[in-house]
Amino acid sequence: MSSLVHGEPVPTNYLVFVDEYFAVRRDRDRVLERLEQDLGELREHDRVALVAFDGQNVSQLTDWTGSRDVLRDAFGEARKRDALGIMRIVDIEAAVVEPALPDRPSQALVRSREGIRRSMSTLNLNRREREIQRSVLAATATLRSYADPPGRKVMLVLADGWGVPEWSRDQFGSAERLPPSIESIYGPLVHAANLVGYTLYPVDLPGLDPAFTNASSGTGEPFAQYSPSPSLGLEPDLSALPTDLYSEWSQEASLSYLARETGGLPMINAFRDVALAEAATDTRSYYWLGFEPPRNEDDELHAIEVQLVGRPGLRVRSRRSYLDLSKSTEVTMMVEGSLLFGGVAGKETLAVEFGAPQPARGRKILVPMKILIPLDDITLLPMGGSWTNEVELRVTVINDSGDRSETPVETIRIAGPAAPEPGQHYWYTTELVLRNREHRIVVAVHDPVSGTILSASGTIGPK
C-alpha cells in the first residue's frame, strides 16, 4: 500500500489500458467516449492515467492527472490512434469454420460474425495465444510501471479477443499437447496486480453478441459456468455449450477471471458503456485489509480467503491469491517490460557490441555479441582464494511485427585473483540466432549479491 496522509481523503487512481492490437475502432471509440463522458463521476482527488498498446510499444497518453481538460485531450488522442483488431481476423487459420448464423440483413449479426472470428482463439492456438500473451505482458508491464501512486489503485483493461483455450483432450491427442490453462496466459497480469495492489476491471470492448443470451454478468446459467481449479485457474465445462457460442463465452470467461482473481468486476456487455462510472461506484465501498505474508521468493502461488463471520446474508469480493515472486522472475519481468516501454531496466552502464551477421540455417542469421560488464557495479566476494560472483544474463528481442523471444537466464561466472581495480571491466562473448530481419534488443545483467541490474538496449539485424 502506498503511503497516505492520516485524515485526508483516500484518492482512487484509475489506470486505463487500451489494447489497440485486438481492438476494432468502432468498439474502442465507443467505450473511450463513454469513459470520457463519465469523468464527472470521479471525485476531486481521484486521478487517471491513460496508456495504449499497439502490439509493439506501450505509449503513455497522459500520466496521473485529475485535470478534466488534460484527460479529455488524452481520450481524444486515443481515438485518433490506429485500432488493429481487423488485422487479427486474418490471423485465423483457414481451418476455422465460421459458426452458422441466421441469414438476416442485420448489422448486429454482421458484427457478431466478425466478433466470433476475432475471438476464436481455440482454433488457432499457437499464434493466437502468443498474440494474447503479448498484450497481457504489455498490460502487466504497464501495471508494474504505475505501481506507486498513493491510495486505491484500479486498472481498466479495454480488451477484445482475449479468449481462453479449449480444454479438449480429443483435439490435442495427448496430455503433453494440452493447451495452456487460462492461468498460464493471464496469470502474470493477475499476480502482478495482486502484488502491487491493483484491482482489475476488464472492459468487454465488443459488447453483447446478439446470438449469446445470458445474464448481465456474462457468464450466466445454464452453460457458461466455471469453477476454480486447484491452481486457481478456470476449468470450464463445455459439454452443454453450443459450438457457435464458445467464442463469446471464451472472451467473457477470460475477463471474468481477471476481475474475479483481483477483487474487481468484469464490465461485460452493456456494462462497457458505464465502465468508469461502475468502477467508481464499486470502489467507494470497501474495507482495506492488509497483511505481510512470509516471503520465500520461490514463485509459489498462495490462496487468500476472506470470511464474513456472523453475516450469512453478505458476500465479499477480495483478492484470491498472491504469488511469492522470486527475484529472478521479477528481474525477467522488468527486462521484458523495458522491451515494450522503451528505456532499460536498472542502470544503463552495460556496453554491448555486435559483430557482422552471418547466414544461418532456415533463413536465420548468427550475430556475434560481446558484453562489457563494469566491475565497479558488480560485487565480487573473496572465496577460495579468488574474488568471484555469478551474475545472471538475460537477452530478449522483439521484431517489427511484435513477435517477442523468450527470455532465458544464463549464468556468467566472474572470477579474478584479486579485488578489481576501479574502472575494470569483464568481457563476455556469445552469439544470437535471429530471423533475418530487424529486431529491438534488451540485454541485462543481474547481480544477485547486490541486487543491481545493468542494462543496454539497441537495434540489431541485417545491414
State the pLDDT at residue 2: 52
Residues 53 and 155 grouped into a single domain = yes
Output the domain CATH number for residue 218.
3.40.50
Distance of CA 306 to the CA centre of its chain: 26
Cβ proximity of 135 and 118 under 8 Å: no
Task: Give per-residue pLDDT as tens, 146-198.
Answer: 988 989 999 999 999 898 765 444 444 444 444 457 888 898 899 999 988 99
- In the chain, the percentage of residues whose pLDDT exceeds 90 is 43
Query: Does residue 296 lie in a domain region?
Result: no
Crossing angle of helices 125-145 and 182-196, rounded to 10°:
0
pLDDT at 30: 97
Q: Which residue, 231, 238, 229, 460, is CA-closest to 364?
A: 460
Q: Using DSSP bridges, classify how beta strands 358-360 and 152-159 pair: parallel, antiparallel or unpaired.
A: unpaired
pLDDT of residue 7: 65
Is 161 inside a domain boundary? yes
Asked, for residue 5, whether it belongs to a domain, the answer is: no
Residue 339 pLDDT level (bands cut at 50, 70, 90): confident
| Same domain assignment for residues 23 and 103 | yes
Quote the percentage of the chain above a pLDDT of 70.
Answer: 77
Q: In this structure, are 270 and 152 located in the same domain?
A: yes
Q: Please determine, for residue 402, whether its predicted confidence score (pLDDT) is greater than 60.
A: yes
Task: Please give the Cα distance from 251 to 119 (Å, whole number).
Answer: 7
Instruction: Say whether both 244 and 96 belong to one domain.
Output: yes
pLDDT band at 378 (very low <50, low <70, confident <90, very high): very high
Indicate which CATH number applies to the domain containing 359: 2.60.40.3880
pLDDT of residue 223: 31
Q: What is the pLDDT of residue 20?
A: 96
Is there a single domain that holds both residue 354 and residue 258?
no
- The residue among 250 and 186 whose pLDDT is bigger is 186
Q: Nearest to residue 204, comparing CAs of 404, 28, 16, 63? A: 28
**Between helices 68-80 and 25-37, what is the axis angle to 10°?**
170
Q: Has residue 292 been placed in a domain?
A: no
- Report which of residues 72 and 310 the model is more confident about: 72
How confident is the model at residue 382, as a pLDDT? Answer: 92
Tens-digit pLDDT profile for residues 88-141 = 655 543 333 333 333 333 333 333 333 333 333 333 345 777 788 889 989 998
pLDDT at 225 over 70: no
Please, is 409 exposed, middle or buried when counting C-beta atoms within 10 Å of its C-beta (0-12, 13-18, 19+)?
middle
- Does the pLDDT value for residue 18 go beyond 50? yes
With a CB cutoff of 8 Å and minimum separation 6, the contacts of 174 are: none
Whether 218 and 78 share a structural domain = yes
Give a yes or no: residue 422 inside a domain. Answer: yes
Q: Tally the domains of the chain.
A: 2
Instruction: Report how far residue 407's alpha carbon sits from residue 137's, in angstroms, rounded to the nearest whole number.
Output: 13
Angle between helices 107-119 and 246-262 (to 10 degrees): 70
Question: Is residue 251 in a domain?
Answer: yes
| Last residue within a domain, chosen from 235, 267, 282 | 282
Please report where in the chains the cell 475471438 appears, as a residue.
119
Site of grid cell 445454464 = 222
SS (H, E, C) 133-195: HHHHHHHHHHHHHCCCCCCEEEEEEEECCCCCCCCCHHHHCCHHHCCCCHHHHHHHHHHHHHH
Is the residue at 396 inside a domain? yes
Instruction: Report how far residue 351's alpha carbon sits from residue 60's, in angstroms, rounded to the nearest whole number.
Output: 28
Residue 292: pLDDT over 50:
yes
pLDDT of amino acid 458: 87
* pTM score: 0.74
Bigger pLDDT: 432 vs 99: 432
103 and 229 inside one domain: yes
Q: How far apart are CA 17 and CA 53, in angstroms?
A: 8
Kindly tell me if the per-residue pLDDT of 291 is higher than 70. Answer: yes
For residues 124 and 261, membership in a common domain is answered with: yes
pLDDT value at 311 more than 90: no
Domain end position, chosen among 254, 282, 310: 282
Lowest-confidence range among 8-17, 28-37, 316-325? 316-325
Does 232 share its domain with 346?
A: no
- In this structure, the answer to whether residues 351 and 428 fall within a common structural domain is yes
315 near 260, Cβ under 8 Å?
no
DSSP codes joined into one string, 35-82: HHHGGGGS-TT-EEEEEEE-SS-EEEEEEEE--HHHHHHHHHHHHHS-
- pLDDT tens, 38-87? 999 999 999 999 999 998 889 999 999 999 999 999 999 999 999 988 77
Say if residues 298 and 324 touch (Cβ distance below 8 Å): yes
Whether residue 346 is found in the same domain as residue 276: no
Predicted confidence at residue 289, as pLDDT, reads 78
Residues 18, 137: one domain?
Answer: yes
Q: Is the pLDDT of residue 216 over 70?
A: no
Under DSSP, the state recorded for 100 is P
Residue 154 is predicted with a pLDDT of 97
At 293, list the grid cell: 505474508
**260 part of a folded domain:** yes
Domain that holds residue 29: 12-282
**Final residue before a domain boundary, out of 230, 248, 282:** 282
Residue 212 has pLDDT above 50, yes or no: no
